[in-house]
Amino acid sequence: MNPYSLSVAELTTKARQIRRRIVKLNADSPAGGHTGADLSEVDILTALYFRILNCAPDRMDSPERDIYIQSKGHGVGGYYCCLAEAGYFPLDWLPTYQHANSHLPGHPVRHKTPGIELNTGALGHGLPVAVGIALAAKRDRRQRRVYVLTGDGELAEGSNWEAALAAAHYGLDNLIIINDKNNLQLAGPTSDIMNTDPLAEKWQAFGMNVSECAGNDMAALVQTLENLPANGKPNVVIANTLKGAGVSFIQGRAEWHHRVPKGEELALALEELKDE
C-alpha cells in the first residue's frame, strides 16, 4: 500500500508545495531546466507517489513494489522534487541539481538517485522497458503494477507503438500508461510538429483501455487512476494538462520548455504559488 494515502485536498496542497520547489530548483541550476514539463506533470506525480503507488523509500528492494518509470526524462526536475518530498532522498540535495558530482543529473539515472527505477531521457525508451517489466511480473505471478509517464510529443517515436502492440498482445493489465498531454513540445504545438490526434482512438486501436481526464485536476486524476477498467487489457490514461501549469506567465507557452524563471520572474512565480 501507499505509505501516505493523502486525501484529494492534501494532495492539492502537496502539489503546490512541489511546484514551489520546482521553480526554485530550476532557477538555481547551472544548466537550467525544463520548467514547462516539470510543472505540467506535478499533479500526476503527486497523485502517484502520495496515494496510488504501492511503494515506499524503505521498500525499494521489494519484488512486489509497484514500478514507476519517467519516460519523459526531461521532466526530471519535477520528478526529483516529488521524490525528495516523499522521502526518497534528502531535501537538501535539491539545490545541487545539475551541479558537478551531484546525485541529481539532468535526466534520471538509476545508480545516482534513490527512487529512480530506470535511466531515461532518450524519448520512446521508457514504455518499451515498462512493457518488459510488466511481462516479467506477469510471468513471475507478481502483484506489482507498472506505471509509465510519457510526454505527448514523445509519442511521435515509433518504439512506443511497437511496445503498445506487445503490451496488448500479452494482455498486460498490470501496465498503466499515462500520457502527459500538454499539447506543446520544444519547438511549438505537437499538432503542428507531429500530430498524434485522435490519440484515444489510436490507443484503442492498439488494444488498450483508454481513460481521459483533466490532468491538473487532482480530484479527476484520483478518480480516474483508482477506477481503471480491469478486463485483461493494458490501461492508458490521457491526462490533459497545461504545460507550465500553476504559474500564469509560464503556462501554455512553448518557450518555457527549456526556460527557467530568474529575478523578478522567480519572485512572481513564488508569489503565485504561496500557500493559500
Residue 79 lies in a domain: yes
Backbone angle region of 171, left / alpha / beta, with phi > 0 → left and psi within -120 to 50 → alpha: left
CATH number at residue 82: 3.40.50.970
**Using one digit for the tens of pLDDT, what is the confidence trace for 132-189?**
999 999 999 999 999 999 999 999 999 999 999 999 999 999 999 999 999 999 889 9
**Using one digit for the tens of pLDDT, what is the confidence trace for 35-68?**
999 999 999 999 999 999 999 999 999 999 999 9
- Across the chain, what does the average pLDDT equal? 97
Residue 114 CB contacts under 8 Å (≥ 6 apart), including other chains: 57, 60, 83, 88, 89
Residue 68 lies in a domain: yes
Q: How many domains does the chain have?
A: 1
Q: Cα(70)–Cα(48) distance, rounded to whole angstroms?
A: 12
Mean pLDDT over 213-221 rounds to 98
The answer to whether the pTM exceeds 0.75 is yes
3-state percent helix, strand, coil for the chain, nearest multiple of 5 = 45, 10, 45
Q: Cα(105)–Cα(166) distance, rounded to whole angstroms?
A: 31
Contact 3, 56 (CB under 8 A): yes
DSSP, collapsed to helix, strand or coil, labels residue 126 as helix
Return the C-alpha torsion angle 139, 141, 147, 150, nearest 10: 10
Q: Cα(150)–Cα(190) distance, rounded to whole angstroms?
A: 14
Q: Which amino acid is at 36?
A: G
Residue 3 lies in a domain: no
Give the pLDDT score at 275: 80
Mean pLDDT over 75-102 rounds to 98
Residue 80 lies in a domain: yes
**Is 276 a residue whose pLDDT tops 90?**
no
Residue 1 lies in a domain: no
Grid cell for residue 175 = 501496465
* Structural domain harbouring 110: 8-272
**Using one digit for the tens of pLDDT, what is the confidence trace for 219-242?**
999 999 999 999 999 999 999 999
Mean pLDDT over 241-265 rounds to 96
Q: Which of 64, 213, 14, 134 is nearest to 5 (CA)?
A: 14
Buried/exposed code over 138-161 (b: 16+ C-beta within 10 A; e: otherwise): beeebebbbbbbbbbbbbbbeebe
Residue 115 lies in a domain: yes
Residue 210 lies in a domain: yes
Counting every residue written for the chain, the total comes to 276
Residue 88 lies in a domain: yes
